[in-house]
Structure 1
Amino acid sequence: MTLNRVTYPPGRDCPLSSVVCWSYLCRVQGGVGGRRSGRCKWFNVVKGFGFITPDDGGQDVFVHQTVIQMPGFRSLGEGEAVEFECRPSEKGIEATFVCGPTGSDCRGSDRRPISRKKFRRIRCYNCGDFANHIAAKCPHGPLPKRCHFCKSSDHLIADCPSRKADREAGNSSSNGEYSDTGGGAYGEPSKSSTLSGQGHQASSSSS
């Protein structure tokens, strides 16, 4: 019996449909009602499917991630040894169950699809970083309390001297736009001089 092509009982040709022929191929190679061994030919982790090359030399078997036995993200690594069961379909032979050697979980591929989901950055009150996790799920583990502004462990952010200094510097720079004694920003007259000038004009007109 040749496993690389479909063979039939002596004296009988195959006038049947391609699906029945695939079914016969599966049966003569132990695919229906039995478990075969093979290796992953390739697997697309983004689309979730690939092909297995049987060790007995049969045709490549289609495999979808839903039939793979493993926890979490299901996939197959290129060249990974597997055991599988299969059935005929309109497009060829497809796997109905895939596991590792001796029924163990599959190892899977080291590759993962790139996530396009955008995460909102939030502050973690454990490590103080702006990231996509909260303190309860911080990967750094429990850390001592510290200031999240300057990272010092001597005080908390409410009492941070560096933060107060930055605030005072910001307030002084914003108040410096208008001076009580000199010209305003960009050479414009100050509020005090403008108001005094208006008062002088009003007194002159009344007299």
Structure 2
Amino acid sequence: MAEEVDGGKDQQSNTENHPEDEEHPKLKKGKCKWFNVAKGWGFITPNDGSQDVFVHQSVIQMGGFRSLGDDEEVEYACKSSEKGLEAVKVTGPGGADCKGSNRKLASKKRYRKIRCYNCGEFSNHIAAKCTLGPLPKRCHNCKSEEHLIADCPTKPERPSNTENKDPEPMEKSP
């Protein structure tokens, strides 16, 4: 039994002597050189002046949208890969969450106005969900039941685009 306890102590001291094993990589300090928030990756410049370290957003410790700000102070652990050094864990100073970039990824969603074809309002419902119930057909511009929007007398005329049209059609030669 005494040998098992001693064996456990040897393993602990072995870990302390070699802190850069894969389970406990040594944390280094550096600054974010640049980070592309759209692509989710960038590079860290180590404080010791060694080779830049690649960082992917998936290894950054912070809540929400993960990114790094330019010149943000970080602590990181890295490993060698085929292309160079790659960060496996990135935190703020003292193991705190990173601050992140002020630039945020623009939303790809384009919001468009929804018009209810029942009441004619631009709002957040469609005709099937309209609270007014079925209404008679009417002009969406002036709300008159006498005509529809295509024939509305108060609707401003759109300027015709005659500049792009050919004034005379070309004759076909036999």
Normalising by the smaller structure, the TM-score range is 0.5 to 0.7
Aligned length: 111
Q: Whole-Å Cα distance in 2 between the matches of residues 130 and 51 of structure 1?
A: 45
Q: Which amino acid aligns with 2:58?
A: T
Pick the structure with greater CA Rg. Answer: 1
Q: How high is the TM-score relative to the length of structure 2?
A: 0.54
Alignment-derived partner of residue 70 in structure 1? 62
CA shift at 1:113, angstroms?
Answer: 1.8
SS of the equivalent of 1:171 reads coil
The answer to whether structure 1 residue 47 and structure 2 residue 39 are counterparts is yes
The 1:31–1:47 alpha-carbon spacing in structure 2 relative to 1, beyond 3 Å, is farther
The 1:31–1:65 alpha-carbon spacing in structure 2 relative to 1, beyond 3 Å, is farther
Q: Whole-Å Cα distance in 2 between the matches of residues 94 and 114 of structure 1?
A: 27
* Equivalent pair of 2:29/2:75 in contact (CA under 8 Å): yes
* Equivalent pair of 2:113/2:122 in contact (CA under 8 Å): no
Alignment-derived partner of residue 60 in structure 1? 52
Alignment-derived partner of residue 145 in structure 2? 171
The 1:172–1:121 alpha-carbon spacing in structure 2 relative to 1, beyond 3 Å, is closer
* Equivalent pair of 2:33/2:70 in contact (CA under 8 Å): yes
SS of the equivalent of 2:35 reads strand
Could you tell me the percent identity over the aligned residues?
A: 52
The answer to whether structure 1 residue 85 and structure 2 residue 77 are counterparts is yes
Q: Which amino acid aligns with 1:81?
A: E
Choose from 89, 92, 95 the match for 2:87.
95
SS of the equivalent of 2:88 reads strand
Q: Post-superposition, which runs of at least 4 consecutive aligned residues in structure 1 deviate over 6 A? A: none
SS of the equivalent of 1:112 reads coil
Q: Deviations over 1:75-117 (max 9, x none)?
A: 0000000000000000000000000000000000011122222
* Equivalent pair of 1:31/1:86 in contact (CA under 8 Å): no
Alignment-derived partner of residue 116 in structure 1? 108
- Structure 1, unmatched stretches of 5+, are 1-29, 135-156, 159-165, 178-207
* Equivalent pair of 1:31/1:85 in contact (CA under 8 Å): no
Q: Deviations over 1:8-66 (max 9, x none)?
A: xxxxxxxxxxxxxxxxxxxxxx8662100000000000000000000111110000000
CA shift at 1:171, angstroms?
Answer: 2.6
- Structure 2, unmatched stretches of 5+, are 1-18, 116-120, 126-131, 134-141, 152-174
Q: Which amino acid aligns with 1:89?
A: S
Q: How high is the TM-score relative to the length of structure 1?
A: 0.46
